[in-house]
Structure 1
Amino acid sequence: MVIKKIFNNNAILAKDTNRHEFVVMGCGIAFKKNVGDKVDESLIEKTFILKHKDASEKFKLLLEDVPTEHVSLCYDIIEYAKNILGVELNDYIYVTLTDHISYAIKMFDENIKNSNVLIWEIKKFYQKEFAIGVKALEFIESELGKRLPEDEAGNIALHLINAQVNNSTSKVEDIAHQTKMVQDILNIVKYTYNITLDENSLNYERFVTHLRFFFQRLNKKQIIESEDDFLLKQVKSKYKKAYECMLKIEKYLEMTLSEEEQLYLTIHIQRVTQR
Structure 2
Amino acid sequence: MIIKKIFNNNTLLAKNLDKDEFVVMGCGIAFKKKIGDEVDEGLIEKTFILKQKDASEKFKLLLEDIPAEHVSLCYDIIEYAKNILGVELSDYIYVTLTDHISYALKLFEEGLNRPNALIWEIKKFYPKEFSVGLKALDFIEDEVAKRLPEDEAGNIALHLINAQMNNSNNKVEDIAHQTKMIQDILNIIKYTYNIQLDEKSLNYERFVTHLRFFFQRLNRNEKIETEEDDFLLKQVKVKYKKAYECMLKIQSYLEKELSEEEQLYLTIHIQRVTQR
Matched, 1:128 2:136: no
Deviation at 1:167, TM superposition (A): 5.1
* Identical-residue share of aligned pairs (%): 81
Partner residue, 2:174: 174
CA distance in 1, matches of 2:165, 2:185: 25
Partner residue, 1:271: 272
Deviation at 1:118, TM superposition (A): 0.5
CA distance in 1, matches of 2:42, 2:239: 70
CA distance in 1, matches of 2:181, 2:241: 23
Partner residue, 1:209: 209
CA distance in 2, matches of 1:166, 1:12: 29
Matches within 5 A, 1:57-136: 57-136=57-136
- Equivalent position amino acid for 2:110 in 1: E
Partner residue, 2:19: 19
- Equivalent position amino acid for 1:57 in 2: E
> CA RMSD of the aligned region, Å?
1.0
* 3-state SS in 2 of match to 1:13: strand
Partner residue, 1:219: 219
CA distance in 2, matches of 1:182, 1:11: 42
- Equivalent position amino acid for 1:260 in 2: E
Indicate the larger mover: 252-261 or 224-233.
224-233
- Equivalent position amino acid for 2:237 in 1: K
TM-score (norm 1): 0.98
CA distance in 2, matches of 1:44, 1:238: 64
Q: Deviations over 1:35-76 (max 9, x none)?
A: 111111111111101011111000000000000000000000
Partner residue, 1:198: 198
User: Tell me, which stretches of 5 or more residues in structure 1 are unaligned?
Assistant: none
CA distance in 2, matches of 1:101, 1:251: 38
Partner residue, 1:150: 150
Deviation at 1:169, TM superposition (A): 4.4
Indicate the larger mover: 65-74 or 229-238.
229-238
Task: Work out whether residues 167 and 216 of structure 1, in 8 Å CA contact, stay in contact via their aligned partners in 2.
Answer: no
TM-score (norm 2): 0.97
User: Tell me, which stretches of 5 or more residues in structure 2 are unaligned?
Assistant: none
Partner residue, 2:237: 236
Q: Deviations over 1:80-101 (max 9, x none)?
A: 0111111111110000000000
Deviation at 1:17, TM superposition (A): 1.7
Deviation at 1:170, TM superposition (A): 2.2
Deviation at 1:32, TM superposition (A): 1.1
- Equivalent position amino acid for 2:227 in 1: E
CA distance in 2, matches of 1:27, 1:224: 54
Task: Work out whether residues 88 and 165 of structure 1, in 8 Å CA contact, stay in contact via their aligned partners in 2.
Answer: no
- Equivalent position amino acid for 2:67 in 1: P
Task: Work out whether residues 162 and 172 of structure 1, in 8 Å CA contact, stay in contact via their aligned partners in 2.
Answer: yes
CA distance in 2, matches of 1:136, 1:15: 31
CA distance in 2, matches of 1:151, 1:260: 37
CA distance in 2, matches of 1:155, 1:35: 38
